[in-house]
Amino acid sequence: MAALLRLRETFWLVPGLLCLLAAGLAQGLIVLDGAVDSDAWQGQAGTVVYLVGADGSRDLLSAIAGSMLAVASTTFSITIAVLALTSSSYGPRLVRNFMADRGNQVVLGTYVATYLYALLVLRSIRTLDGGDEPFVPQLAVNGAVLLAVVSIGLLVWFIHHISDSIQVWTLAGRVHGELRTVVDDLYPEQLGDGADPHRTGELVAAALASAPVTTVRASRGGYVLRVSSDDLLERAVAADVVLELLVRPGSYVVEGGGLARVHGPAAEPDGLADGVRRCLPLAAARSPFQDVEFATQQLVELAVRALSPGTNDPYTAVNALDDLSDGLAAMARRRMPSPARLDDDGAVRVVAPAVVLTDLVDMLVDAMRAYALDHPDVVIRTIDVLDRVGDGAHGTTRAHLAGQLELLVAHFERGDPHPHDAARVRARASTVLGRLRTPVPT
């Protein structure tokens, strides 16, 4: 599963599949042309299939192949230039969004596939044994012309698409979509389904009290790409143990570092350690598919880079904060997952740490305290984010938001802002603090 998620972010998978399809299509049409009498194209079919002689077909296919190779090279160059621009201006972690863009992959793949198709059809134009006239696969040649027309349309679309893809709202919108997806995927499907939230602490403490304890260690270093909680539960039940995970998606583990503790029998069941490692695959880079912290970090990074002296674009930061507020507000309205995963008998089998809302809020506000204090509009928008998140939060979470808000305002005023800016920030903060300190009916 982890390998499949990585494949969608490669530039070679879709072009490779399209090349295979083009090769199969070329061979199929050549065989069909060989099975059809050449005189058949002189009748009504000739009004649909444009008939070209051997020399004309060779020239036509050579022109298509050469032009497709040139356009593919230009398109690759444009894509690499955009990747370099995105990496330097918005952050290297956003490059994966361009690589995962299915439109870019299809365009590049179509050009390469059309080039391959034209070469294969060109190769088939030859004199058959015992014949005087060369074999010309008329249907395949017309197919090359059709692919060339489609490629021209894709070139026009690609220019529009690549221009739109570097717009800040497009970049932020993609990351915002990933954030909403991971929030929707993780938090409705509780890792601790079946556990009573009020008794979670007692259940977990009792489950982890058993001894002895062994530790499953990583065989190599890397980031935890995902946690296969269902598989972990099955392995824990089969081995009659409790698995206490020491990592979560996005955690970095060094070689030999702890992945999980096994609470149960004195002797670790055969194959359990290898099974746990397979349920916690490691990769060289983080991925947003289960890592809500990474999805949040990308939008925070976009805002921070926009506030750097070299960029000085607070409006981009405001745009990123607006997109971030939607994901965090959605998370605030969800019940946080229990760390305990139970078996059919109600016994705790897996204990897994999870990212909570306050972790993500701290990441955002701490970054804004460090980089946004010279931009009153960004500080006010950060306060707006806390207001939107607090609207769906309850209890201690609202108190935590209020504490972060007070800390942000204190640091802003410590920087000796202009009285007008200080008054604006103070007025907005006072309003939001009043709401956060008002108990929410349960």
pLDDT per position as a tens digit, 10-47: 778 888 999 999 999 999 988 888 777 655 555 545 55
Using alpha carbons, list the distances in angstroms from residue 362 to 281, 293, 355, 384. 27, 11, 12, 15
* CATH number belonging to the domain at 293-333+355-436, selected among 1.10.10, 2.60.40, 1.10.3210, 1.25.40: 1.25.40
On the CB side of 118, CA atoms within 13 Å amount to 25
What pLDDT is attached to residue 4?
A: 62
What pLDDT is attached to residue 267?
A: 62
Is the domain spanning 197-283 CATH 1.20.58.1290? The answer is no
- Residues 6 or more apart whose CB falls under 8 angstroms from that of 18 comprise 106, 109, 110, 112, 113
* Domain residue extents for the chain: 2-166, 197-283, 293-333+355-436
pLDDT per position as a tens digit, 41-100: 555 455 556 677 788 888 899 999 999 989 988 888 888 888 787 777 777 777 777 777
Position 423 confidence tier, pLDDT thresholds 50, 70, 90: very high
Computed over every residue of the chain, the mean pLDDT equals 84
Higher local confidence (pLDDT), 337 or 279? 279
Q: Does residue 196 surpass a pLDDT of 60? A: no
Q: Does residue 190 surpass a pLDDT of 50? A: no
> Token pair 């030859």 is at which residue?
126
Q: Does residue 401 surpass a pLDDT of 70? A: yes
For residues 436 and 440, what is the distance between their CA atoms, to the nearest angstrom? Answer: 9
Angle at 384 between CA 378 and CA 389, to 5 degrees: 130
In the chain the first and final C-alpha atoms are separated, in Å, by: 40
> 319 with 256: CB under 8 angstroms?
no
What does the radius of gyration of the chain's CA atoms come to, in whole angstroms? 30
Tell me the residue type at 428.
R
For residues 84 and 283, what is the distance between their CA atoms, to the nearest angstrom? Answer: 23
Same CATH topology for 197-283 and 293-333+355-436: the answer is: no
Kindly tell me the sign of the dihedral angle through the C-alpha atoms of 183, 190, 272, 213. Answer: positive
For residues 118 and 23, what is the distance between their CA atoms, to the nearest angstrom? Answer: 9
pLDDT per position as a tens digit, 240-280: 888 889 999 989 999 999 999 888 776 667 788 899 999 99
Q: What would the mean pLDDT of 392-420 be, rounded to a whole number?
A: 90
pLDDT per position as a tens digit, 113-124: 999 999 999 988
φ and ψ of 190, to 5 deg: -65, 135
For residues 225 and 218, what is the distance between their CA atoms, to the nearest angstrom? Answer: 13
φ and ψ of 144, to 5 deg: -65, -40
Tell me the residue type at 114.
T
Q: Does residue 200 surpass a pLDDT of 90? A: no
For residues 90 and 168, what is the distance between their CA atoms, to the nearest angstrom? Answer: 9
